[in-house]
Structure 1
């Protein structure tokens, strides 16, 4: 991609993977289409791997080793690059793609999206999910989450649009002071027109989505969708699946409050948390 992304070290690493793949593929006398057919993906995907635009899934890396006779070389490189990521294994690819995305759209049913979290809010989320972890572990995870927010330093890219379930605004994660600071940050980003925010109110009834969803689009690669469960996540790039996710997201967005009404609700909630602090 023309946009080099935020995570420079990771980009270089996957660029190395792609360069080596191209050298070995051409050495084997195979076109991208021919290798893609052998490892059960399209030739264009092989091209994206070679350009460093997209990471292969681990099973594809293993099949590449088999077809090119590279004795586990690409599998080992893949595993080393994944280990170099500060994020959970199932989220490493997502964090990488965020830095390359032209637009990121998300639906958050429970917690504020990681790209918008304050340090105190992030710590509270990690502590709630991992109450027996050490302070050092909590701080390491928090730092990794905050590092992803460097992409917000660009005033226009990526385009960010998030729909928050009203739960996210009303649930006092970390207490009143943490929530006031968190909602104030969201209001600030929205007023700077750095992110578009909508709230899906309780009055909308049953939501079209029951779990978080992130949609990412790129300048020169197909869109992807990401959903998350308990200690797991699924990165979807099948066009039919992504299209269904996009439709469902549109339904959620249509049921949400307008951006203006959403900010008014968030501001009211922030004032309520500020009042709690004073009493």
Structure 2
């Protein structure tokens, strides 16, 4: 379990700033790839990553996982160079490199499970809802900061279209929709967006009803990801700390809680019916 305090960003609310050390690693990686005579497309196929993921890594916007560093070193014939570059990666002063690490796990995942009780999950937020969130952040953000955060969130959402073989499961508390954050127009856009995303073959959205007497979600949000080699990771956060969970016993507990909530929430068809009913009442 990795605990990072004062990270400066969150999955539901913020996105990471670009770390200089990550930018340096990305530049070194790009130089080695080009020296090997490989385009991003050719290289992505060899290492079995998406072109988008390679581009983000070389821009310094993705934290490289240890196994990727080893693989890249072998493919590019420079294991010592990449290991040396990776040693300089920093995690301080609000750079939110913990988010970079989770984002890397998220992008590689074959299954992603999300239970949210604070805001609608970042991957499902339409632009109007994203803006409503960042416009209400405290301390207040500047217009430039808001725009940067909005674009970063929209960029992250490409995962839904670029990972068609990943199974996405979302459980959302009905109260988040009833709250009407940002007003009626924003809520209308949000519900329309949820209905649109739920039509994807690999996306399952379930609403947890307002009344549920036997509900294990009182322990808070749950984010779970299954890696290509079928290892599960968990992620949880509060206002002051964030935790990346790798211990199998702890992840198993999170999976149990998620499984029970999945059985308690409205099924996909009932969720669609509720969303359409709520949309019609606006």
Cα offset for 1:229?
A: 0.9
Q: Tell me if 1:153 matches 2:164.
A: no
Instruction: Choose between structure 1 and 2 for higher RCO, CA contacts under 8 A separated by at least 6 residues.
Output: 2
Gaps of 5+ in 2: 1-46, 73-79
In structure 1, list runs of 5 or more residues that go unmatched: 19-45, 53-67, 274-279
Inter-CA distance 74–239: structure 2 relative to 1 (3 Å threshold): farther
Q: Residue 203 and residue 143 in structure 1: after superposition, are their counterparts in 2 closer, same or farther (change >3 A)?
A: same
Secondary structure of the corresponding residue to residue 130 of structure 1: coil
Alpha-carbon distance between aligned partners in 2 of 1:224 and 1:253, rounded to the nearest angstrom? 18
Whether the 8 Å contact between 2:109 and 2:225 is mirrored in structure 1 is yes
Q: Is 1:106 equivalent to 2:121 in the alignment?
A: no
Q: 1:243 aligns with which of 241, 245, 252?
A: 252
Please point out which of 51, 54, 58 is paired with 2:71: 51
Indicate how the Cα distance of structure 1 residues 47 and 137 shifts in structure 2: closer, same or farther if over 3 A, else same: closer
1:276 corresponds to which residue? none
Alignment size in residue pairs:
225
Please identify which structure carries the higher helix content.
Answer: 1
CA contact (8 A) 1:98 1:216 kept: yes
RMSD: 3.1
Q: Secondary structure at the match of 2:211?
A: helix
Given the superposition, is the C-alpha separation of residues 14 and 126 from structure 1 closer, same or farther in structure 2, using an over 3 Å criterion?
closer
Query: With structure 1 as the length reference, what TM-score do the two structures score?
Result: 0.71
Distance in 1, Cα, partners of 2:183 & 2:273: 21
Give 1:96 deviation, angstroms.
2.1
Match of 1:4 in 2: 50
1:24 aligns with none
Residue 77 (structure 1) aligned to one of 88, 91, 98? 88
Which of 194, 204, 214 is the equivalent residue of 2:212? 204
Q: CA separation of 1:188/1:87 partners in 2, compared to 1, >3 Å: closer, same or farther?
A: farther
- Bigger Rg over Cα: 1
Q: Which 4+ residue blocks in structure 1 deviate beyond 3 angstroms?
A: 3-6, 9-18, 46-49, 73-76, 86-90
**Match of residue 116 from structure 1:** 124
The alignment status of 1:92 with 2:138, answered yes or no, reads no
> Judging changes above 3 Å, is the alpha-carbon distance between structure 1 residues 130 and 76 closer, same or farther for their aligned structure 2 residues?
farther
| Whole-angstrom distance in 2 between the partners of 1:14 and 1:167 | 33
**Deviation sequence 1:123-151 (CA, Å, 0-9, x none):** 11122223521111111111111111111
Is the 2:208–2:266 contact (alpha carbons within 8 Å) kept by the matching residues of 1? yes
What CA distance in whole angstroms lies between the structure 2 residues aligned with 1:121 and 1:229?
Answer: 21
Tell me which residue corresponds to 2:242: 233
